[in-house]
A and B are shown apart, each in its own frame.
Chain A
Amino acid sequence: MSVYYTSLDHFVLLPVLLLALFGCATLLFDFWVFPEAHQRKYLLIFLGLGEAFAGWAYWRQGAALAINGGEISAFHGAVVVDHFALFFHWIFLITTLVVGLISYRYLEVRDEHHGEYYGILMLAQCGMFFLASGNDLVTIFVGLETMAVSFYVLVGFLRAEQRSNEAALKYLLLGGLSSGFLAYGFSILYGIAGSTLLNDISKAVASRGHSDTILFLAIATTTVGLLFKIAAAPFHMWAPDVYEGAPTTITAFLAVGSKAASFALLMRVFASTLGSARSTWEPLLIAAAVLSMTIGNLAAITQTNTKRLLAYSSVNHAGYVLLGVIAGNNTGYKGVLIYLLVYTFMNLGAFLVLTSLTRKGLAGEDINDLRGLMKKSPGHALWMLIFLLSLAGIPPTAGFFGKYFIFLSLIETGHYVLAVLGCLYAAVAIYYYMRMVKAMFIETEEEETPALSTSFGTQVALVVTGVMTLVIGVYPEPFVRLAQQSFQR
């Protein structure tokens, strides 16, 4: 038996190997070296190191891409690193890092500080890697499940809490259902193409007619699975419950990391692989996008739980991003990338502030818990304001540029009705974001509550996400270029 892989293959897989290595190390060290609860925050070092090494590897990969151009494909095309994938890898990296940073105080407050948390966090990131880089149905599916299973565990991490259990159970069962459908779709795609490589599937799909029923069956079931993962209506039902029940830090991870990863996959599948069957899947996505914006907005309006509110808002955002995919031109895809980048920072930031609201004996998840935040902690309140404005898409915050590209691409491709609809929903969305702003700045606390639980890590993460939200809003040029470069077909 000859050696089937080369150093190039290694090079591509290096980041994920590093991450897995450090993830396992975390699990081991948790048992043997840091048995005491208060020591566990040192496990963050492993996370940091892992991410640093992975970042270094990404950086090297980027440099290699800059020289060679195009893509580096490894393991017989099963894994591919291109600018597009790298873009998402960086997003995952940032997300994991930030989530790790904000987690330890939160977990301490919730009395569930265990080393496994960080390990699984990094292993989930390994799964994400293959969602963005996978170029083979099997690889993608296993990667997806790695991420999903990690999330099932993380969502239920507050084992003593019924809500956390419940969220995990719901996520698992519904996730299993959706995985089943996705796998079913994959199986038919495999049947159609006779190969699990996306490139081969792409060719096979292109050679089939537009009204091919089997192709439709494959596309529809795949779409269902993907829409579930990005929490787009009508497959979003899990999101509010899971977001609410999960530890807030994991909600952030779920809302940002999982969603970005799923979108990476969705883009790869729809834009490249199924690109030629656009007429088949476009109506499905349009329906999903419109439903997502409608349901997300409407449901969020009267929501009083902030995590749930942001969950609905994330359903809404999924609708917006889908609009970019629907537009399907260069601007649209660029818009999706920018949107996801921006969304990473602003949503992480928003959840981060919510995380800080969780204090001993106070869940801090009700909208009234935000009251008087301006008095209590102006820094948090101001950053939160920026995140909310950005989520609402008001310039000069980053969120505006996300929406900008989406709208532009819709106009360029003549989807005027969707554009107007998107605009109107943007205005509706203001209402519930402003409810939070109102609570923070205008209303006052009814009774004295303990100070916010922050840590050095939280502060750093807050500043980073906040500054990035502002910087992308004020000077988006490099990021636009990055997105541009990331989506070169």
Chain B
Amino acid sequence: MLHPITTEHYLVLSAALLLIGTVGILLRRNAVVVMMSLELILNAVNINLVAFGKHLQQLNGQVFAIFIITVAVAEAAVGLGILIAVFRNKETVLVDEIDLLKW
């Protein structure tokens, strides 16, 4: 149990987070939760980056992670804006009720 924590631990954790995030996107009908799941995925990437950075004795990974966080912020902002627009027009945030465009 108490063996040292290696980079691989972080990578596996990251994979698990990625997986959970993906499941969230695939399954949750609530668009807000879907967006939260996106955040989970980006966090998985960040774990990866920081772990690699440490593994490689560099700070680049952390910097990359900062940019990922920035991107996440931007996406969330725009996404929530779009969500509000959708809600205003359609009175729903359930993604499977938003299916005007098909076939």
Contacts and interface: CB of A to CB of B under 8 A. Distances in A.
A190 interface: yes
B18 A180 contact: yes
Interface in A120-175: 137-138, 141-142, 145, 149, 152-153, 156, 159-163, 165-170, 172-173
A245 interface: yes
A173 B56 contact: no
Contacts of A149: 74-75, 78
Nearest to B47: A187
Which bucket holds chain A's interface residue count? Answer: 35 or more
12 contacts: A141-B64, A149-B75, A156-B85, A162-B86, A165-B86, A166-B90, A166-B101, A177-B41, A180-B45, A190-B60, A191-B56, A244-B101
B34 A173 contact: yes
Contact of A187 (B45, B70, B71): B45
Contact of A196 (B42, B64, B90): B64
Nearest to A180: B41
Nearest to A305: B103
B71 to A, nearest CB: 5
Contacts of B79: 152, 169, 172-173, 176
Interface in B2-52: 18, 21-22, 25, 31, 34-35, 38, 41-42, 44-45, 48-49, 52
Interface of A: 137-138, 141-142, 145, 149, 152-153, 156, 159-163, 165-170, 172-173, 176-177, 179-181, 183-184, 186-188, 190-191, 194-196, 240-242, 244-245
A267 B28 CA distance: 35
B74 A165 contact: no
Given A177-B38, A187-B52, A165 B85 contact: yes
A324 B8 CA distance: 38
B18 A184 contact: yes
A225 to B, nearest CB: 11
Q: Which of B22, B86, B95, B102 has the most CB of A within 10 A?
A: B86
Contacts of B68: 141, 183
B86 A145 contact: no
Contact of A142 (B25, B45, B70, B100): B70
Contacts of B45: 180, 183-184, 186-187
A163 B64 contact: no
B55 A191 contact: yes
Interface of B: 18, 21-22, 25, 31, 34-35, 38, 41-42, 44-45, 48-49, 52, 55-56, 58, 60-61, 63-64, 67-68, 70-71, 74-75, 78-79, 82-83, 85-86, 89-90, 95, 98-102
Contacts of A141: 64, 67-68, 71
B64 A138 contact: yes
A408 B101 CA distance: 38
B101 A145 contact: no
B56 to A, nearest CB: 4
A240 B100 CA distance: 12
Contact of A153 (B48, B70, B78, B83): B78
B71 A172 contact: no
Nearest to B31: A169
A141 B74 CA distance: 13
Given A172-B75, A180-B41, A187 B64 contact: yes
Contacts of B71: 141-142, 145, 179, 183
Contacts of B67: 138, 141-142
Contact of B101 (A170, A179, A194, A195): A170
B74 A145 contact: yes
A194 B58 contact: yes
Q: Which of A180, A184, A195, A240 has the most CB of B within 10 A?
A: A180
Contacts of A190: 49, 52, 60-61, 64
A449 B99 CA distance: 29
A275 B82 CA distance: 39
